[in-house]
Structure 1
């Protein structure tokens, strides 16, 4: 691993922030100010989601719930509906819980330190560091995928970023490099660098504003960084989705358990099967509807079944208009689209 002396660190800060001031993405709506509420919402939305996708969601969310107090008082159904399409709904639920802590328990007084921000529901090390540095000028590195990629190449850090303990390696290496006067801008500049000149594939390192500090590029091994062991393939699970209409044309839904995947969401009743031969009813699609979670892959076969018994306690029929008002997970939208196409 490269070790920079103090002069190199100061030169790097200057070159990075000068570039950020010239070319940084100041137009992004969450960068209009450093309100911790806006920072927290944007950071949670940006996890596992592209920036250009988040812009629309962020603006809509802020229009509906402009302050942490508005979010704290909002019903969960409204929050989930505003989040619909972003996926990873636990983020939305935790954001809602965090807003209640700030608004009701702390009377609107935000935790300002990295350590105190970690006590908020759903706020992990990266999010706490981002909010602390951007909103409260705390000198702490915000370590995410961009951060791993940028500094693994700059410093030739060969620790496996798939391992949790590696975060500490990067933290210790980069904490002295974070600009003490502009830590928020420093972290955001690294984000911008990681999505432009130093992106995962086809980086334009030669024209990077920090190319002279890039040890991996200098040594001709940039494509070997960051080091990351392969994830296990997601486990395949098969389901049949029961499609039942009542005499008025309303569709039967089932509320999922309060824990586990898609907790508390309404979906068509899903019943596990081991193979296609176990499908019970009239198949409505030629091929299964597929959806991949981080550790599981679902294959879903929609099957038409006649209305027989009354709905169970966790089931009810929804008209088309009522379905439009529901916050539905992406997999359910895929099922509905599959039914339309069939």
Structure 2
């Protein structure tokens, strides 16, 4: 066992996180689900989603048998919804080809949708105790600082170096604990801003600590200004308080989620609203901005109240009238859900 892993495991035994819900039990399904949820999301945010998810879908076969709306509803608010769709598809593949289990084999895991090298390694290390390295965002930050590696960690050459170090440090014993330990160190001590170097078990040999480079490492991703787009969201509410929802297509942002009909401008919004319902007037609601990873979306909601549905949509799989109380059963983008839950009360007749 290397000096690095020995020091890290000694720290983990006293200061690591031992009570995370996916550690009890630490089976392959729960480890996999937590790893997917934790991608670009903090532990504190993930825990309630994880608990709700496993309460309703406690095993891989339950996930595989669930419909997409159920899966996306449980995921709603976590963002990056492609993760949920890949999770669902991978579970179905496991039922079809792996007897309903996540295979304890790297190549087989890496072939499943949404499982890359690091996620496969985490499953094999934590659930099966096999010696495989991981390299998530926290681990990249720890290794970048410890070894003093300059350059954006997402660049191929830099990532290759980090994988080499990750593999070299991963011990043959206590692999599951080591994997959790290095993630914990990055999440609680070697944090992005103002790392707690004074209590870090790696401080004596850390290049970034020695050379006062913790603020410079990891090297940030080259900046690029986010473009801004705009849309008008139609909130059509009938006399029973139901709102018209539109299921988005398989491509683009929020793909596969239920959302609101959209238009490029106010005039187009009125024409589209008149296609769906008989309307009299519209209330311009407060605009807001939602930021995606690659652009900012300026959203102007228009509320068409007491709308009378102009056409039957029972046979249209992409449109439905939905009561506000039933929104919890559907996968909706978080800003759309917040908008609908905050709608003003209907005007008195």
- Tell me the SS of whatever aligns to 1:339: coil
Which segment is superposed worse, 19-28 or 327-336? 327-336
Which segment is superposed worse, 309-318 or 134-143? 309-318
Q: How far did residue 279 of structure 1 move?
A: 7.1
Q: Give, in whole Å, the separation in 2 of the partners of 1:108 and 1:279.
A: 47
- Tell me the SS of whatever aligns to 2:69: helix
Alignment of 1:257-268 (within 5 A): 257-268=249-260
Q: How far did residue 238 of structure 1 move?
A: 0.4
Q: How far did residue 189 of structure 1 move?
A: 0.8
Partner of 1:54: 46
With normalisation by structure 2, the TM-score equals: 0.87
Q: How far did residue 20 of structure 1 move?
A: 0.7
Partner of 2:329: 325
Partner of 2:110: 118
Task: Check the 8 A contact 1:160/1:228 in 2, yes or no.
Answer: yes
Unpaired runs of 5+ residues, structure 1, are 1-8
Q: Give, in whole Å, the separation in 2 of the partners of 1:304 and 1:70.
A: 38
The structure 1 residue matched to 2:98, chosen from 100, 106, 125, is 106
Relative distance call for 1:334 and 1:131 in structure 2 (3 A) is same
Q: How far did residue 190 of structure 1 move?
A: 1.0
Relative distance call for 1:159 and 1:62 in structure 2 (3 A) is same
Partner of 1:293: 292
Residue 32 (1) aligns with residue 32 (2): no
Q: Give, in whole Å, the separation in 2 of the partners of 1:52 and 1:304.
A: 35
Q: Give, in whole Å, the separation in 1 of the partners of 2:215 and 2:340.
A: 42
Q: Give, in whole Å, the separation in 1 of the partners of 2:141 and 2:256.
A: 36
Q: Give, in whole Å, the separation in 2 of the partners of 1:141 and 1:12.
A: 14
Q: Give, in whole Å, the separation in 1 of the partners of 2:282 and 2:162.
A: 55
With normalisation by structure 1, the TM-score equals: 0.89
Residue 176 (1) aligns with residue 180 (2): no
Alignment of 1:30-179 (within 5 A): 30-179=22-171
Partner of 1:302: 301
Q: Give, in whole Å, the separation in 1 of the partners of 2:152 and 2:188.
A: 23
Partner of 2:276: none
Q: How far does the alpha carbon of each residue in 1:294-328 deviate from its partner, in whole angstroms, 9 at most, with x for none?
A: 11211111113465742674323222333343221
Q: How far does the alpha carbon of each residue in 1:146-204 deviate from its partner, in whole angstroms, 9 at most, with x for none?
A: 11111111111113213244322211233112112122222211111111221011111
Task: Check the 8 A contact 2:139/2:186 in 1, yes or no.
Answer: yes
TM-align CA RMSD: 2.3
Q: How far did residue 115 of structure 1 move?
A: 2.6
Q: How far does the alpha carbon of each residue in 1:21-57 deviate from its partner, in whole angstroms, 9 at most, with x for none?
A: 1221001111123311010001111112221121111
Relative distance call for 1:341 and 1:41 in structure 2 (3 A) is farther
Relative distance call for 1:152 and 1:271 in structure 2 (3 A) is same
Relative distance call for 1:341 and 1:292 in structure 2 (3 A) is farther
Which segment is superposed worse, 232-241 or 160-169? 160-169
Residue 214 (1) aligns with residue 240 (2): no
Task: Check the 8 A contact 1:289/1:335 in 2, yes or no.
Answer: no
Which segment is superposed worse, 179-188 or 197-206? 179-188
Q: How many residues align?
A: 331
Q: Give, in whole Å, the separation in 2 of the partners of 1:226 and 1:37.
A: 32
Q: Give, in whole Å, the separation in 2 of the partners of 1:189 and 1:297.
A: 36
